[in-house]
Chain A
Amino acid sequence: MTTRQPGLRLLFWALMIAVTAHSTVTFFTDRIEQALYREGAAALAADLVIRQNQPVPAAWIAQAARHGLQHSQQINFPSVIFAQGKPHLVQIKAVDSNYPLRGKLQTQHQPGVNIQQPPNPGQAIADPALLHALGTTPQQAIKIPLGARSLKLHGELIQVPDASLNLFQLAPRLLIHRQDAEASGLLGPASRARYRLLLAGTPTAINKFRTWLAPQLSPTSELLTLDNSSPELQQTIQRTQRFLSLAALCASLLAGIGILLATRHYVDSLLAQTAILRTLGMTRRQVFVYHSKPLIRISLSGTGLGLILGYLLQAGLTLWLADWFDQTLPAAGWQPIPQAMIQATLLLSGFALPTLWSVQHMTPHQILRQDQQPANLTQHTAWASAALVFCGLLYWQANDLILTLSIIASLGLMTLILLGGAWCILSIPSRSNRLLAGRAALQRNPGLTRIQIVAYGIALTLLLLLTLIRGDILRTWQDSIPADAPNHFLINIQPDQANPIRKQLATHQITDTGLYPTTRARLSAINDQPVEPTSYQTPRARQLASREYNLGFSDQLQPDNQLISGTWWQPGTPALSIEQELANTLQLQVGDQLTFDIAGQMLHARIANIRRVTWGSFNINFFIQASATLQTHIPHAMITSLHIPADNPGFLRQLAAQFPTVSAINIQPLLDKVSDIIYRGSLAIEGIFLFTLAAAGMISLAALRISRAQRQRDIALLRTLGATRQQLRRYILSEFALLGGLSGLLAAALANSLGNLLGYQFFALTIGFKPEIWLLGGATGLVSVSLLGWQASRPILRQPPLTHLSAS
């Protein structure tokens, strides 16, 4: 490694800091994302589920095993059991001994004693509603017939991890072993059995298997992942990822500023050397190669060391946050390694190479005469290249075009405002007569002062912005799930049961979200053109085109839904409302006529509007909502969601006794899961926020290194002229206090404005004027920059002035 040149050494440190900052955050967010997805996977009971009408071919299972995937098979079908002389409609869930692959199954045979094992062959475990209908209790064991088999029913289901996949099942659930289902003789062609293959493994293995499986799936097969199985979980995790990306983006931006400062210093240090080499007869190309070689070595060593430090720091960070996670985080993946290498290469290519290229095109005479004109002209190209690379990196990190463009526009605006602030402090005449005031020191190198104000300003703006949105947006986010959010769904309510159920709810003072008619429907034509699932490009679109929907009927727009296009209809008008993501995937537009097949009966209507759904509210929401007038002559049941307080456990038993055909689905575990993810996500963001603060400190040190030589010379000269330590201390501190304080106040102004903009744009929040952010910004800038500046300048005070005067 050639780091004898001070500029190159600084670039090495800056690059190492950049990679350390980036890889620490990437390693850490990678682990948290894995943990969050693991949480999400618990709601699927697997990482990937294949659901279809036919038994799963043995070849698929063999292939899954070859990819190192765990598997579990499941059969779901409705059936009738005869017990106590009465028929009872049940939803059979037949699982094997591997179930579940993710999450926890909880059953109870005795009060307070939870068991996490699936039933053995010959055993059955039932929903509380079924136990009640059968007149038994979890502690009692009774024999129930199931086709050709006789099972021992003992225990109740407390928590079934993939229960949310069956929100619209028609009957209480009976959990049995798969062998019993196969031996029951009930799985004939008319059985309406749905077969599931549950798979779990590494993301790479899952993706490879998905790729292998895709061409073999029939149009009626469904692939269920976290993305498409549970929209409320998906939305929550997406929000968490957006926050984590924002935090990682902050670290990347700060690191980029560090590279920028270091590169500037490196190129300055190259000028004289380039002139000498050219004078001695080196060609332009030879000079370019000569200067590029150390850059490549720097890139490799800085990236390698940065990665090692990043890995160690994230391990320390995880250890430090150990109490925040009640289970071990998954091991860090290898993806941050190539990411860091690409980042380092891009940063060096974008920030250093064009500047090097411009230097080699200067004549030795121009350099020796310090005639910067040609370099200044080509430096515009170098800056443009740096900006382009920076924008590319931003898009890479944000993975969202609108967010990227917003950040670029914001950064441009921030830079202009910060440059304006720097101009004010440097150019407006001062009334102060003090030559050793901070302002005079800042005028030592106006260019570097401007860069430092922009760098400190951007760093502090990002930190303050994160503080602002972390507080306000997370609070709003957590408040979005109220304490009385619905925790149960009641399904399969027959129309004639609606009023008695309403009365029952009123008696128990339980508020429901309204009873909605619903029916199962398959989309058969769009604008009179038959729907062909295979004509769609993406697997997701093919699935949505082939699946059955729960069509809801209501003339009311749910309060937590938002119209994106079109208008809401007048009662009595036949019309449809489509959820935004479904409309986008199937390319549906307002005005399109859709035809649905409802048990052989065709229903036609036009799309009146497209709406955004807040799935996290746990209210009744439909992908497709039809106007109430369309339900006439359509066979339907009703559905509602309600919050049953924990102190009213008897309500469900009474309801099951009075309305045996009505099923209650407990979604409290899902609700708990979403709350848990929100809680952990907010803590993770706080952890990364702390790291971003450290990255800002590193930028400050890089800037100090750049101005160190000049500061050394000034201090040596002042000491020669008789300045005491106290005078020098005041001189140094006033410079950094002014720099930090000014940057902090400008940053506060920017953060407050951007916080309002981003909060409104992306999170529908109004933040308003925040005086505490101004105070925090000014104080943080002043104290942190002063401390860093003082710490970095102290050694200069100890050295004899002659050392620095001789050097200059």
Chain B
Amino acid sequence: MQNLTNQPILSASQVTKTLPTSSGNELTLLTDINLTIRTGEAVAILGTSGSGKSTLLGLLAGLDTVSRGEIHIFNQALNTLDEDARARLRAGQVGFVFQSFQLMPNLNALDNVRLPLQLSNAPNQLQQARTLLQSVGLAQREHHLPTQLSGGEQQRVALARAFAGPPRLLFADEPTGNLDNNTSRQIEDLLFSLRDQHQTTLILVTHDERLAQRCDRTLRLHNGQLI
């Protein structure tokens, strides 16, 4: 369990996301989302397919822009930052884990882990990357390309990359969605173990009740609204 503080690391106020449709109307994906995530907290956003979980995660991470409302991350309002400023905010402070791993196919395991370190100009990049790979049990696989690794191994590399920095805030989007039960358990354990080790705030999107229960609290999303 992390040391929780009352300091909010992320907050969303009246966040709404709409998309224009071909008929000229608007399709509402999220409506008036209000939430606060405190430093060190692990929060699960639970919902069925199509409920808007991944869209909300993208907005919270600054990967997309809101239609209405405000999101503050590290005390900075995302809508006042341009794309480069949002990228700088993420570099070294925010980590991501995706359902489909999202590794760079042309880079080996070691270089995939090293990538965010290079983007943030971190010192001792190679050493840090090796240590992270070792921590996920893939020290012997550092020169393997993603295609030469199993799904579970790829997600381990993705976890090592996500904790490079280490980040203050980690976003995980269905991190075990593409894996079998056994491998899922291993990845979950690794995720929470690394989170504890680095004292990282975690926002996790999932439809898996069991996984959600491992977090400090759960937010439920239904038809684009928190319930």
Q: Which residues of A contact B (CB under 8 A)?
A: 434-436, 440-445, 710, 713-714, 717-727, 800-803, 805-806, 808
Contacts and interface: CB of A to CB of B under 8 A. Distances in A.
A544 B199 CA distance: 99
A444 B105 CA distance: 6
Contact of A722 (B55, B90, B98, B111): B90
B58 A722 contact: no
A719 to B, nearest CB: 6
Interface residues of B, number: 32
Contact of B61 (A436, A440, A720, A803): A720
Contact of A723 (B55, B63, B98, B119): B119
Given A435-B107, A714-B104, A805-B63, A721 B116 contact: yes
Contacts of A720: 61, 63, 90, 96, 102
A721 B162 CA distance: 9
A724 B102 CA distance: 19
Interface stretch (B43-51, B81-89, B204-212): B81-89
B114 interface: yes
Given A445-B106, A720-B63, A805-B63, 17 more contacts: A440-B111, A442-B106, A444-B104, A445-B105, A717-B104, A719-B87, A720-B61, A721-B96, A722-B88, A722-B119, A722-B120, A724-B88, A725-B83, A726-B84, A800-B63, A801-B63, A805-B58
A719 B86 CA distance: 9
Contacts of A805: 58, 63, 98, 102
A713 B105 CA distance: 11
B144 to A, nearest CB: 14
Given A800-B64, A801-B63, A802-B58, A722 B87 contact: yes
B225 interface: no
A434 B107 CA distance: 11
7 contacts: A434-B118, A435-B107, A444-B105, A721-B96, A722-B91, A725-B84, A801-B64
Interface of B: 54-55, 58, 61, 63-65, 83-84, 87-92, 94, 96, 98, 100, 102, 104-107, 111, 114-116, 118-120, 161
Contacts of A717: 102, 104
A435 B98 contact: no
A442 B106 CA distance: 8
B88 A802 contact: no
A727 B55 CA distance: 26
A800 B89 CA distance: 16
A808 B100 contact: yes
Contacts of B54: 806
A436 B118 contact: yes
A723 B104 contact: no
A724 B87 contact: yes
Nearest to B115: A435
A724 B84 contact: yes
Contact of B111 (A435, A444, A808): A435
A435 B114 contact: yes
Nearest to B59: A802
A291 B145 CA distance: 34
Contacts of A801: 63-64
A725 B92 CA distance: 16
Q: Which 6 pairs from chain A and chain B are nearest by CB? A: A722-B91, A802-B58, A443-B106, A444-B106, A802-B63, A722-B90
Given A721-B91, A724-B84, A800 B65 contact: yes
B104 A722 contact: no
A751 to B, nearest CB: 30
Nearest to A728: B87
A756 to B, nearest CB: 38
Nearest to B54: A806
A722 B116 CA distance: 7
A719 B85 CA distance: 11
A440 B83 contact: no
Nearest to A449: B106
